[in-house]
Amino acid sequence: MKLSSLLILLTTVVHTSTYAAETWWPQFRGPNCSGVSDTAKPPVEFGPGKNQLWKVTVPSGASSPCVWGDRIFLTAFADGKLETLCLSRADGKVLWHRPAPADKLEEFHATEGSPAAATPATDGKTVVSYFGSCGLVAYDFSGKELWQHKLPVIQSPGSFGSGGSPVLAGGIVLVNRDQAGPCSLLAVDLKTGKKAWETPRTDIGPGFGTPMLWNNAGTDEVVMSGSLKLKAYDLHTGKERWSLGGLPSFTCTTPVVGDGLLFFAGWAPGKEANTMPTWAMMSQFDKNKDGAVTPDELKGTEMEAFFRSLDVNRDGKITKEDLDSLAATMSKGENILLAVKPGSKGELSEDAVAWKQTRGLPYVPSPLYYRGRVYLVKDGGMASSYEAKTGKVFYQQERLNAASSFYASPVAADGRIYFASLNGKVIVVEAGGEAPKTLHSVDFGERISASPALVEGVIYLRTATALYAFGK
C-alpha cells in the first residue's frame, strides 16, 4: 500500500514538472528572457490560413504573449484605457480582462511606442503586469486582483515610453525604472506587492531593457543594461556587484547567457555619421527664421513625435544648442557586442571581457544565444552569427528577406530561429551554418513589434491587430 502511494506521488511529481516545463513561456522571451525553448517543436511553415490553429482580434499593444498551461496573458491599450487580457490557449477566447489603475498615461511615441509595452510575467499562480503609467498589478489565474504597487508615471526619455518588462525570480518582481528622472532597479515582493528593495542607478541614464538573471560564480545576480553601462546586482539585497562601461548611449536590449558567459549587444544613434539630426536639417522647419523650432512648426511633419527628445533643455523649443548638446552626449556611447566573463566584481576592466564585435549590431532586438552561437539581427534585415566562446564570425550582416526595421527579438526552438520584422515579415532560419539558410518566410501585411512565443508544438504571434496560434 505504501509502495503504491509512493509510486502515485512520484508519477504526479514527474508529470507536473514535465507539464510545467513544456507548457510555459512565463515572461518576455520565455525562460530567463532567453528567447529559447528546449522542448517546443513549432511548425516550420505557417502563415494566415496555413497551419493556423486560430486567430483572434486583440487591442493594440507591444507586449509579447506570456503563456502558462492553458492560458495566455497580454497587456493592451484600447479606447484610451490600459488592461491585462487572459485568453484561452485552446481557441484564443478572452477569459477575462481587467483595467489598469492608471489616472494618467505616460508619454509614448505616437507611431513607434505603446503604453502597453511590457509583457506580463507569471509563476503559474500569479500573473503580474507592469505599466509605466501606474506601476504593477497582480492577479490570480481567475482574474482576481491580488495587489497593486502604484508608482509615479514614468518620465519618458524622448517620448518613447517605458520599455522593460517585469521578471519574477526568488519570490520577487523585478522592474526597470530607468527614466528621464531618477533611474533605479525595483524589487517588489510577489506575495504582498510591497517593496523588497530599490537600488538607485545614479551614474546612468534611461534604458529600455528588461532585467535578467545570471548565476555568476555561485551568486544569483540581476543584470540590466542602461545608458553607457551594464550593471549587476545581488538578487536578494539589490546591492551592486559589478559595473561595466563602454555601452551605447542608451540601450533597448536585454542580455542573455550561455557557455558560462553573459552577452550584451546594442546600438544607438550618435556614434556613427549621419545618425543624429543637425540644425542644418531641422532649420527647414523654422518657419519664422528665429533660430528655434516650436511644436507648432513641427505639427503634421515626420519630426513631430520627436520634439520632446530633441528639446534637451526642456524650454519648449529646439535650437542648435539643443542638437549640439544631444550629439555630444550620444557620441560618448560605444555600439558593441561583448561577452562578459564570470567571477569579477566592482568596476570591470577590459580583462573581464572575453571578446567583442562591432558590426551587425541590433537597435531594439535582443541578442539570442542558441546551441553555442550568438545571433543578432540588425535593422535592414541583416543577420549575424558568432561562436559564443570565442567571438569567431560564422556570418556577418547577411541579408534576410525583410528589408525593414526590427523591434521583435529573435526566438529559437527545434534547430530553428524565428525573426519577425516591423513591417510584418517572419523569416524562419536554420540554426548553424556559414550563412543564414531560410526555411520559410511569410508576410502578415501589418506591423509586428512583439516577440513570438514558442510553446509545445505552437508558435504564438501578435501583430498590430491580431493574435495567432500556428501548429500542426
Q: How far is CA 209 from CA 231, 245, 258, 410, in A?
A: 12, 16, 19, 15
Sequence-ordered list of residues with C-beta below 8 angstroms from that of 340, at least 6 positions apart, any chain: 230, 244, 261, 262, 263, 264, 348, 352, 353, 354
Residue ending a domain, among 287, 310, 329, is: 329
Closest CA to 118 of 221, 227, 29, 235: 29
User: Is the CB of residue 254 less than 8 Å from the CB of residue 209?
Assistant: yes
Using only C-alpha atoms, the chain has a radius of gyration, in whole angstroms, of 22
pLDDT band at 13 (very low <50, low <70, confident <90, very high): very low
Closest CA to 318 of 342, 287, 361, 360: 287
DSSP state of 117: -
User: Is the CB of residue 213 less than 8 Å from the CB of residue 235?
Assistant: yes
pLDDT score of 55: 98
What gap in Å lies between CA 317 and CA 472, rounded to an integer?
56
Judge if 400 and 299 occupy the same domain: no
Decide if 64 is inside a domain: yes
**Least confident range of 251-255, 276-280, 336-340:** 276-280
Per-residue pLDDT of 364-389, as tens digits, reads: 999 999 999 999 999 999 999 999 99
User: Is the CB of residue 409 less than 8 Å from the CB of residue 421?
Assistant: no
Judge if 297 and 233 occupy the same domain: no
Judge if 358 and 461 occupy the same domain: yes
The CATH number of residue 324's host domain is 1.10.238.10
Judge if 367 and 418 occupy the same domain: yes
User: Is the CB of residue 119 less than 8 Å from the CB of residue 75?
Assistant: yes
Decide if 37 is inside a domain: yes
Does residue 14 carry a pLDDT above 70? no
What gap in Å lies between CA 319 and CA 305, rounded to an integer?
16
pLDDT band at 68 (very low <50, low <70, confident <90, very high): very high
Range of the domain at 317: 279-329
Judge if 73 and 24 occupy the same domain: yes
Closest CA to 459 of 18, 121, 67: 67
What gap in Å lies between CA 115 and CA 120, rounded to an integer?
13
Judge if 348 and 238 occupy the same domain: yes
Number of domains in the chain: 2
Helix (H) or strand (E) holding 409: none
What gap in Å lies between CA 355 and CA 342, rounded to an integer?
13
Decide if 356 is inside a domain: yes
Phi-psi region of 9 (alpha: psi -120 to 50; beta: other; left: phi over 0): alpha
Per-residue pLDDT of 77-117, as tens digits, reads: 988 899 999 999 999 999 999 999 999 988 886 666 789 99
Decide if 380 is inside a domain: yes
DSSP state of 314: -
Judge if 292 and 384 occupy the same domain: no
pLDDT score of 311: 78
Decide if 441 is inside a domain: yes
Q: How far is CA 46 from CA 43, 192, 387, 441, in A?
A: 7, 42, 29, 9
Judge if 304 and 181 occupy the same domain: no
pLDDT score of 274: 65
Decide if 131 is inside a domain: yes
User: Is the CB of residue 133 less than 8 Å from the CB of residue 105?
Assistant: yes
Residue ending a domain, among 329, 349, 365, is: 329
Strand, coil or helix: 89: coil
Judge if 314 and 391 occupy the same domain: no
Judge if 288 and 211 occupy the same domain: no
What gap in Å lies between CA 177 and CA 200, rounded to an integer?
9
Decide if 273 is inside a domain: no
Q: What are phi and psi of 15, to 5 degrees?
A: -60, -45
Closest CA to 306 of 77, 449, 108: 108
Strand, coil or helix: 318: strand
Residue ending a domain, among 287, 314, 329, is: 329
What gap in Å lies between CA 188 and CA 193, rounded to an integer?
6
What gap in Å lies between CA 115 and CA 78, rounded to an integer?
10
Judge if 219 and 142 occupy the same domain: yes
Judge if 392 and 442 occupy the same domain: yes
Helix (H) or strand (E) holding 55: strand 52-57
What gap in Å lies between CA 130 and CA 166, rounded to an integer?
6
Q: Count Cβ atoms below 10 Å from residue 350 Cβ, excluding itself.
A: 9
pLDDT band at 306 (very low <50, low <70, confident <90, very high): confident
pLDDT band at 158 (very low <50, low <70, confident <90, very high): low
CA dihedral 273, 274, 278, 280 (to 10 degrees): 110
The CATH number of residue 450's host domain is 2.130.10.10
